[in-house]
Amino acid sequence: MTPRRTPEPRNHAAGVPVRAVSVARPWAGLILHRGKDVENRTWSTRYRGLLVIHASQSWDQWPDDIARQFALPADKGGHPTGYLGVADLVDVHRHTDDRQCSPWAEPSTWHWCLTNPRPFPHPLPRPGRLGLYTPPPAVVTAARAACSGGGV
């Protein structure tokens, strides 16, 4: 007899599982406020659905042309950490030379395609984790509110 696998605990927003991913600053804010519709990752996932965006403590330098184009603050203080909002993860595919899905897509990565960004009214300052994970209950509540159009 094969042992039964214990189901993973799930938090639901309107019947949809909620997952989170931590993204280096300033990219997390660009997803929610400046139209960054692809998150470049070294790994894939089968998950599709509501994705909470967490801005990690880590800071990724961007090219000067991106900084100018989006009038980004030069200091880290202009880019908050913590849970910033939600987006819909609608597709994940590997980069190919004949498929440029977004100006944000980088070669040799997995492209996590994001739509419908909904920022929280205020960042929720809590630590994130590595990988794709179930966020804390207070963050799930905020995600539900963002999806229903309510505030946090």
pLDDT digits (tens, 9 = 90+) for 22-64: 998 888 988 998 899 999 999 999 999 999 999 998 877 765 5
- Dist CA 54 CA 134 (whole Å): 12
Would you say residue 57 lies in a domain? yes
Look at 10-14, 62-66, 84-88 and tell me which has the smallest mean pLDDT. Answer: 10-14
d(C-alpha 131, C-alpha 8), whole Å: 15
Q: Tokens in use for 40?
A: 């470049």
- Residue 151 banded pLDDT, cuts 50, 70, 90: low
CATH code where residue 104 lies: 2.30.130.30
CA distance 82 to 136: 12
Structural contact between residues 34 and 70, judged by C-beta atoms closer than 8 angstroms: yes
Provide the pLDDT for residue 40. Answer: 93
What is the separation of C-alpha 16 from the centre of its chain, rounded to a whole number of angstroms?
Answer: 16
6 part of a folded domain: no
**Tally of domains in the chain:** 1
pTM for the complete prediction? 0.82
Average pLDDT rounded to a whole number, residues 79-101? 86
